[in-house]
Amino acid sequence: MKRTVRMLIVGLVLTAVLVSTLPQVALAAPKWGANPGKGPKIKFKDIERNWARNYIEQMTLAGMFKGVSEDKFAPEDSVESVQVLVMLVRALGYEEDALKYQQDKDTIRNMAGIPAWARGYVRVALEEELISEQELRNLRPGQKATRLDVAKYISRLFDEDDDWWDDFDLTGLRDLDDLPDSLKAYIALVAKKGIMVGTPEGCWLPHNLLNRGQMAKIFSMILSRLGNRSEQLQTYVYGEVVKVQPETSKKDASITIKAKQDTSTYKVADDCVIYIDGKSTNYLEDVISGQRVRLTLAGSGSTQKVVYIKAETPKETEIEVTGTISGLTLGQDAAITVTTGSGRKITFEVDDETYISLDRQEVFLDDLRLEQKVTVTGRQEGKANIAIEIVAQSNQKEVSGEITAVVTKKNPSLSLEDDKGRNYTFRITKRTTIRLNKGTAVLEDLQPGDKVKVWALDDEAIRVEAQREEPKEEEIEGRIVALVLGEDPAITIRTKAGREYTYDVTDATKIRLDNKAAALDALKVGWQVELKVKGDEAMNIWAESPEDDDERTVEGVIVQIKRGNKKYITIEDNNGRKREYEIDNDARFFLDDEEVTLADLKIDLEVELTIKDGIVYEIRAED
C-alpha cells in the first residue's frame, strides 16, 4: 500500500461517473437561473428527505455526480466496482489517458471482461495500482462494490508505511475476525481517517454494498481534504465571510471570504444552492459577514464559480481553546484533547462536519500529531463539547548531530544525537529529501557516525543533509585469514596485534604477487600480505609466495630491527616498499663478509636476506 498521495484534480473535466444507460442529454445538469439562489435548483425529487442530500447536491453541482434522469438521483441504488474505479481515475486527473486507451488493442484484449466504456479507465486504475492484477482478474461484469472494495481502492490513494496500522485498535469492530490482516489494514486506514468508521453497534460490515448516497458522502470527504492540495483547480474553500455582493446590472454576484490568512473573492453561479444554519435560502444576501462558510466551486479559471454555499452563524455559547494537542481518538468516537497554557485539559468530540486544518491545509484528524499547537472552536451540547473548527500548526524542527541508527525496512527512520546528548528519531517518508556530501542520496546511503542536519515537521523528516569525511589512504600488513571470490570479492587479514580487518576487492584493486600482476584467486590463506586501503576498499595488495623448498633472497636497506623473544627486521626495497620479516633463532649474520651478531647490524645498512618459508636464515650486510 505504498502509494504517493495524489493531488486530486477536480472540476468540469469530471463528468458523469455513475454511468446510466440513459442518453447523455438526460444526464445533463439543469441550466442556471437568472439570479443566485433563485434558479431551478437540483430537481432530484428522491433526495429531498434523504440523509445524504447535502453531499449529493455538493457532488452534483461540482460536476462529480449526475442523476439517472433529470429528476431522479437514485441514492439507494448500489454502485459497481468499475464505476468507483472510473470515478477515482477521473478525480486523479487521468481521464485523458483513459480515453487514449479506450480503442487500444492491448486494452481491448486485456480488459475483455470490462464494459467497453470503462476499459481505458480500468487500465489506468491498474497502472496507478488502485486495483491489483488479481482483483482485476476476479472482477465480474456488473459486480457491485462492497464497503471492503471501496476501502481498498481509497486506501491506495494514500502513502502509508508498512505496518502503520498496528497501533490502530480494531478490536471494537466485532465482524472483522475472519478477515486476514492484509484486508484489515485497508479498513483500519479508512476508519482512522474517519471516512468509513462502522456502526455505533461495533460492526464495520465489510461485505455490505455501498449505494450512491453513501458514495457521495465518501467522495465529499476525500475531495475536501485532497482536492485543495492541487495547484491547478480548487474545489472547496473554507473560511469566514467578509462581504457578499448580490448581482446588479453592473456587477456579478460574488462572495468574499477570508481563508488561510488570505482574502479572496469568488463569483457565485446563478443556480448556487445556499444553506444557512442548515436551512435552505433563495437569497445570497442572507449570507452575512462573520459567518463561517464552506464553498463548493465548479469550473476553472475565469469560469470558476461558487455552486454551493453552506454558511453557519457563530453562536454566543461557542468556546475557543488554544493550547497543544495532548490526546487524539481516531475512528469511532473521534475526539481531540487540548492542554491549555495553564495545564487545563479540554476534550472535544469530532464529527463529519468538523473542519480540520494543518498548516492551512484541510486534513483528516489522523494527520494531526501530539504536541502540535492548536486552536479549537466548539459548541457545548449538554455535557459534551463538539468541535466545529480545528486549526493546528506543525512543530518545525531543525536538529543537528551525529547519526546513531538508520532503519531502512519496516517504518524507515533516522536517529541522531545532538551535541548536548539529546536523542531524536524521525520518520522517513516519500517526501523526505536526502543528501550526502552535497549529492542526492537515499536512506540506505547513510550510516551511524555521519554528521547530519535534519529539518522536520513534528516527527517527519522533510530534509536531511548528511556529511561524511572522506576516508584516508593507509597501509596495513598482516596474514590472510579469509578470501571471498566470485561476487563481492573481499580479503580478510589478521595483524600482528591480533586484529582482523576485511576489505572489498574491486576491479580497480591492483594485486601483485612476487612482483608480478596477479588475480585474487592466486593468493592463499596464511600468506603474509601488505595492503594499501581507503575506507573499506583495498586499493593495492602486495604478496610474496612462501617457497617450501627453494630459498630466495631479497635486498634492501635496514629500516628497523626488533629484538626480543622473537626477532624481526624491516627493510625498504628500491621501490620504497617496506617489509618486515621474522628472523630465525639460528640465523647467521655477516658484515662485509665477516660473521657478526645481530647487534652489529645498524640502520641504513644495505642487506641481502636469505629467506625460506618466510623466515630469514641469513643476513649479509655491507657498510
Q: Is 579 inside a domain boundary? A: yes
How deeply is 277 buried, as exposed, middle or buried, from its count of CB atoms within 10 A (0-12, 13-18, 19+)?
exposed
Q: What is the CATH number of the domain that holds 338?
A: 2.40.50.320
Say whether 344 sits in a helix, a strand or coil.
coil
Together in a domain, 605 and 491: no
On whether residue 310 sits in a domain, the answer given is no
Q: CA–CA separation, 237 vs 295, rounded Å? A: 5
In a domain, 499, yes or no: yes
**Pair (408, 374) in one structural domain:** no
Domains contained in the chain, number = 5
Instruction: Say if residues 153 and 190 touch (Cβ distance below 8 Å).
Output: no
The verdict on residue 334 lying in a domain is yes
Per-residue pLDDT tens for 213-242?
999 999 888 887 765 444 345 678 899 999
pTM above 0.85, yes or no: no
* Domain co-membership, 80 together with 111: yes
The whole-number pLDDT of residue 403 equals: 96
Residues 344 and 217 reside in one and the same domain: no
Using one digit for the tens of pLDDT, what is the confidence trace for 319-354?
Answer: 999 999 999 999 888 999 999 999 999 999 999 999
Measured in degrees and rounded to the nearest 5, phi and psi for residue 353 equal -90, -5
C-alpha–C-alpha distance, residues 541 and 535, integer Å: 15
* 609 assigned to some structural domain: yes
> Do 487 and 424 lie in a common domain?
no
Same domain, 135 and 53: yes
pLDDT band with cut points at 50, 70 and 90 for residue 487: confident
For residues 407 and 492, membership in a common domain is answered with: no
Q: Do 210 and 146 form a contact (C-beta atoms < 8 A)?
A: yes
Which amino acid, residue 266?
Answer: Y
Instruction: Give the range among 302-316, 385-399, 550-564 with minimum mean pLDDT.
Output: 550-564
pLDDT in tens, 71-81: 999 999 999 99
Q: Is the distance from CB of 55 to CB of 217 less than 8 angstroms?
A: yes
Q: For position 462, what pLDDT does the model report?
A: 94
Which pLDDT score, from 0 to 100, does residue 228 have? 42
Residue 161: strand pairing partners: none
Q: Do 176 and 212 fall within a single domain?
A: yes
Boundary-marking domain end, from 228, 250, 280: 228
pLDDT (tens digit per residue) in 131-185 = 999 999 898 889 999 999 999 999 988 865 544 445 567 777 888 988 998 899 8
For 268-322, what is each residue's pLDDT tens digit? 998 899 999 999 998 999 999 999 999 998 877 778 899 999 999 998 889 999 9
Domain boundary pick from 511, 543, 575: 543
Residue 439, domain member (yes or no): yes
The CA distance from 336 to 343, in Å, is 15
Give the amino acid at 87.
Answer: M
d(CA 208, CA 204) in angstroms, rounded, equals 9
Indicate if the pLDDT at residue 36 is higher than 80. no
Q: Does any domain span residue 249?
A: no
Q: Which amino acid is at 393?
A: Q
Say whether both 408 and 480 belong to one domain. no
Phi, psi values for residue 229, rounded to 5°: -85, -10
Same domain, residue pair 31 and 157: yes
Do 40 and 115 lie in one domain? The reply is yes
Q: What is the pLDDT of residues 109-139, one digit of tens each?
A: 888 889 999 999 999 999 999 999 999 989 8
Please check whether residues 104 and 164 belong to one and the same domain: yes
Which distant-in-sequence residues (6+ apart) come within 8 Å of 257 by Cβ?
A: 237, 239, 240, 241, 242, 263, 264, 266, 293, 295
* CATH number of the domain within which 588 lies: 2.40.50.140
- Of the candidates 426, 445, 467, which is a domain's last residue? 467
- Whether residue 32 is contained in a domain is answered as yes
Residue that is written with C-alpha cell 465571510 in the block:
241
Tell me which residue range forms the domain holding 152.
Answer: 24-228
Q: Report pLDDT for 451.
A: 96
